[in-house]
């Protein structure tokens, strides 16, 4: 397996486009980025042949209209096109929102010459606002004319909201003796928290694979990637991950959990984890990428709950931003997780630097010049100046381990979200 260029259009038979149809206010996003990227607000993905398809949607009880429509359309396990707009979420829009989402699928189907039930639709942006349907319909027509095997980058730019860079990846692998490709793109920077988050992810592959196995592979992959990240503990109304598999690699269909299925799953895991980490690195206002590892828990669920308790702690996140090795905040988050622990067994590390031993300070001095002990605040400060931070918590209770990924919380996060609609 190797990483290649091309994103969602790297697999055979997939085309995409990303254009501006005037949804985003003045073509300007809330953050600084290139004018061309900022203006794009509508993306179209198209498979030259019918594809097997499966998707997972947000668990938020308030689901955006396009997700409800897509959930119906994908029940038969197939799809051929996806239309996405950014700037307006089409969420909390009632009957009209559903009608608009249906109209987007109908218009896309007519323009591409396919059935509307084979079109999936999704939106991202401001909640509670209606879509400018006249602009969107014209945009779909324009996007159809620009569909290209090199259009993956434009599509990845068109789905961004507060993102500062497009997120795409593709990997090449051998399935059944045939060159096969899995490509993906995603958007997300804020409102990121399992299950799924305010993120959209679209994955394409030319692998021939059975529908049930495709569903199993996607569900497993998301559990290890998109459901293991958090930016701010907020879960959106529009989260969606979908995969299309059109079979044009011409491999013998993967219909058993054999070696080819393992290879496919491994490739899919590579794509989803890379995209998930990109989302965290692009967290709104973030300056630090943080990996949190919880080791030796009694149960895997315990390890996850503790890891997310730390990752979603505003006090921990702001301490990391301030480059302050305040391990007491980590200890408090562990105790606040709801998981039963033994305080006098907990060890906390910042990278290789041990900050706490058996629930107490590991001879850690807050005084920079204090000669006592082998650990100093200066050593921790040096680690925290880096862009990638690792926190390890060893509970010393059992054998279950987990890793999740998050980012720091900065003053820019507040500014971005305070002025998101203005």
At residue 422, the pLDDT reads 43
In this structure, the answer to whether residues 204 and 300 fall within a common structural domain is no
Domain that residue 354 falls in: 289-418
Which of 260, 283, 264 is closest to 272 using CA atoms? 264
In this structure, the answer to whether residues 37 and 142 fall within a common structural domain is yes
In this structure, the answer to whether residues 181 and 243 fall within a common structural domain is yes
At residue 31, the pLDDT reads 39
In this structure, the answer to whether residues 232 and 337 fall within a common structural domain is no
In this structure, the answer to whether residues 249 and 376 fall within a common structural domain is no
In this structure, the answer to whether residues 269 and 392 fall within a common structural domain is no
At residue 294, the pLDDT reads 98
At residue 74, the pLDDT reads 98
Q: Is 198 among the residues known to form the active site?
A: yes
- Tens-level pLDDT at each residue, the chain (422 residues): 999 999 999 999 999 999 999 998 654 344 344 444 447 999 999 999 999 999 998 877 888 999 999 999 999 999 999 999 999 999 999 999 999 999 999 999 999 999 999 999 999 988 899 999 999 999 999 999 999 999 999 999 999 987 889 999 999 999 999 999 999 999 975 444 444 445 799 999 999 999 999 999 999 999 999 889 887 655 567 788 999 999 999 999 999 999 999 999 999 999 999 999 998 888 777 889 999 999 999 999 999 999 999 999 999 999 999 998 889 999 999 999 999 999 999 999 999 999 999 988 876 555 544 444 445 677 888 899 999 999 999 999 999 999 999 988 887 777 766 765 54
In this structure, the answer to whether residues 266 and 310 fall within a common structural domain is no
In this structure, the answer to whether residues 103 and 58 fall within a common structural domain is yes
Among 281, 301, 334, residue at a domain's last position: 281
In this structure, the answer to whether residues 84 and 102 fall within a common structural domain is yes
Among 224, 252, 281, residue at a domain's last position: 281
Q: Which of 54, 122, 161, 198 is the catalytic position?
A: 198
In this structure, the answer to whether residues 354 and 405 fall within a common structural domain is yes
CATH number, position 179: 3.60.70.12
Distance of CA 306 to the CA centre of its chain: 21
How many separate domains does the chain show? 2
In this structure, the answer to whether residues 120 and 19 fall within a common structural domain is yes
In this structure, the answer to whether residues 234 and 316 fall within a common structural domain is no
| 148 CB-side CA count, 13 A | 14
CATH number, position 403: 3.10.20.340
Among 251, 281, 311, residue at a domain's last position: 281
Beta-carbon count within 10 A of 165 CB: 15
């Amino acid at each position: 397996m190797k990483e290649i260029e091309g994103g969602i259009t790297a697999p055979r038979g997939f085309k995409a486009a990303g254009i501006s149809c005037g949804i985003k206010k003045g073509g300007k996003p809330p953050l600084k980025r290139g004018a061309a990227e900022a203006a794009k607000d509508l993306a179209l993905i198209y498979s030259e042949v019918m594809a097997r398809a499966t998707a997972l949607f947000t668990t938020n009880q308030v689901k955006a209209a396009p997700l409800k429509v897509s959930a119906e359309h994908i029940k038969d396990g197939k799809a051929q096109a996806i239309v996405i707009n950014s700037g307006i979420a089409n969420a909390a829009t009632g009957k009209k929102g559903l009608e608009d989402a249906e109209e987007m699928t109908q218009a896309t189907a007519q323009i591409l010459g396919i059935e509307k039930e084979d079109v999936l639709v999704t939106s991202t942006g401001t909640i509670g606002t209606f879509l400018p349907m006249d602009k969107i319909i014209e945009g779909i027509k324009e996007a159809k004319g620009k569909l290209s095997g090199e259009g993956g980058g434009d599509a990845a730019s068109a789905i961004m909201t507060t993102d500062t860079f497009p997120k795409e990846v593709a990997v090449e692998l051998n399935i059944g003796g045939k060159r096969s490709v899995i490509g993906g793109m995603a958007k997300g920077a804020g409102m990121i928290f399992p299950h799924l988050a305010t993120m959209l992810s679209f994955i394409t592959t030319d692998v021939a694979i059975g529908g049930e196995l495709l569903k199993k592979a996607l569900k497993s992959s998301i559990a290890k990637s998109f459901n293991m990240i958090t930016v701010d503990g907020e879960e959106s109304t529009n989260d969606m991950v979908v995969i299309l598999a059109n079979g044009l690699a011409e491999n013998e269909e993967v219909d058993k959990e054999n070696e080819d299925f393992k290879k496919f799953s491994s490739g899919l895991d590579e794509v989803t984890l890379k995209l998930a980490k990109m989302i965290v690195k692009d967290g709104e206002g973030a300056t630090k990428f943080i990996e949190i590892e919880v080791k030796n828990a009694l149960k895997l669920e315990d390890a996850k709950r503790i890891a997310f308790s730390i990752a979603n702690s505003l006090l921990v996140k702001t301490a990391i931003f301030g480059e302050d090795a305040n391990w007491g905040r980590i200890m408090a988050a562990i105790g606040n997780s709801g998981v039963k622990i033994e305080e006098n067994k907990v060890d906390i590390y910042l990278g290789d630097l041990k900050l706490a031993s058996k629930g107490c300070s590991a001879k850690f001095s807050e005084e920079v010049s204090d000669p006592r002990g082998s650990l100093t605040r200066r050593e921790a400060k040096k680690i925290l100046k880096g862009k990638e931070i690792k926190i390890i918590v060893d509970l010393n209770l059992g054998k279950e381990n987990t890793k999740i990924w998050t980012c720091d919380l900065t003053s820019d996060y507040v500014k971005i979200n305070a002025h998101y609609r203005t």
